Structure 1
């Protein structure tokens, strides 16, 4: 009996170490949030050219997989850039301009809608804190409402980001400073913390720069690079091993074969 108890305790301890000691296993998978009320406007034209770049730093949104289904968030939602990459379902609500045959559209946060303190928040200063507001690309807005409405009430909710392929890492900086933009993030879509490891170093913590970028003040040239990333929302952690070869260069984007759930 004592041997069985010791064996059972060993199994329990092994299970605890396996689940709790593994951040990816211990953290939850991102689930859709409840619907909430807000308002939406649009910026740019039908080409979505005005949405390129943006405060998150994703550059050309078509080349990097985001397309025209994007949105700029008011600063209350933007959260100093930690909301970059998050995904939302948005549906037009109780307006005669709503497209009745469209249930909702799904967009990715790629930009900041800055406050306009010269206008009141209910008449022009739509993105003034503490207002929650979505400034959509015009193509995305046109999926849910007549663009001539200008502004419509909407229901919105955070949803998991469905991405094809793995995380992508766009490199900037120099030999002593590595700046990395993380793109194509699945699951919660966001990044809370990040580390880099050279083939000849241990893990080095990277600090949040702005938007979807993280930086490390370290000499990492001539080493293959791996990244450890934790989701801001779910706290799930994944490791992308040997993403960039030892011959990596700034100005290039490197893809991994791993992503968040």
Structure 2
């Protein structure tokens, strides 16, 4: 009987070891050591339905007048947005929640000033259209840069009916992070985000304590944290409105300084 019991225990032990051998590679053998707890990866951001709206333009023919704005992108050209930008009506802007979102827009009525044979354009939200007139809530309106507007409509039209939809942001290069402030006050600017484009959550982890710390939206795509981060390597984790998360590990070196910009990974 003792021999049979010993044999049973040996078989159980062997079976347990076999299970461990089969399970552990699946849990740890993913790229970059990532684990998929749910068994599913978050799907990529997909285009939304077409909706009606109106469009106007602001700024000069060279894009002057579109720098700065309510999203905190001081220089859209340097950040990679170029002239394909738009200000959103307050109903679309949603208190800066849609800063960085991308839209496909096409003119809807060729008889009112649309360019004949015009194609749709793709723009990034970088500003808010001041409340009043076409931009008043609940109207959905796009105040395009002048060069973007002229791709779909005539200058003399002034305002046109359009069709629009949310689309994935296709960006060159990685997400850009920069910090301004002082040792006890950090304002992190985030730009050039792919995928959904609009960041809803930001966390940072310093090399000293290795704990994720949340930032809160100060305004636009500027996020604040009052912890001391100077002298630490910094890892950032951002989440977009579609629930996808992106981690840029040890993006900032220990010797980083205020005002510097570092480029991390991007959504695809």
- TM-score w.r.t. length of structure 1: 0.87
1:72-127 C-alpha deviation (Å, 9 max, x unpaired): 001111111110111001000113211122220110000011212xxxxxxxx101
Q: Indicate if the aligned counterparts of 1:29 and 1:187 stay in contact, CA closer than 8 A.
A: yes
Among 200, 209, 215, the residue aligned to 2:218: 209
Unaligned runs of 5+ in 1: 117-124
Q: Given the alignment of the two structures, is residue 105 of structure 1 paired with residue 114 of structure 2, yes or no?
A: no
Q: Which aligned runs of 4 or more in structure 1 are off by greater than 6 angstroms?
A: none
Structure 1 position 50, deviation (Å): 0.3
1:149 maps onto 2:157 in alignment:
yes
| Higher Cα Rg, which structure | 2
CA deviation after TM superposition for structure 1 residue 250, in Å? 1.4
Q: Aligned residue for 2:166?
A: 158
Deviation track 1:206-237 (CA, whole Å, cap 9, x = no partner) reads 111111111111011111111011112x1001
Tell me if structure 1 keeps the 8 A contact 2:110–2:116: no
Following the alignment from structure 1 to structure 2, what is the Cα–Cα distance between the partners of residues 90 and 147?
A: 17
Shift of 1:58: 1.0
Pick from 88, 98, 101: which aligns with 1:83? 98
Is the 8 Å Cα contact of residues 95 and 153 (structure 1) preserved in structure 2? no
Q: Work out whether residues 102 and 197 of structure 2, in 8 Å CA contact, stay in contact via their aligned partners in 1.
A: yes
1:63 and 1:79 map into 2 onto residues whose CA distance is 25
| Distance (whole Å) between structure 1 residues aligned to residue 262 and residue 73 of structure 2 | 14
8 Å Cα contact 1:56/1:84 also seen in 2: yes
1:20·1:26 contact (CA, 8 Å) conserved in 2? no
Q: How many residues end up aligned between the 2 structures?
A: 244
Greater relative CO (CA pairs within 8 A, separation 6+): 1
Task: Name which of 183, 192, 196 aligns with 2:191.
Answer: 183
Q: Residue 122 of structure 1 corresponds to which residue in structure 2?
A: none
TM-score (norm 2): 0.85
Aligned counterparts of 1:44 and 1:238: Cα–Cα separation in 2: 34
Measure, in 1, the Cα distance between the counterparts of 2:193 and 2:59. Answer: 25
Offset, 1:21: 5.2
Trace 1:57-72 onto structure 2 (pairs within 5 A).
57-72=72-87
Q: 2:100·2:197 contact (CA, 8 Å) conserved in 1?
A: yes
SS in 1 for 2:214: strand
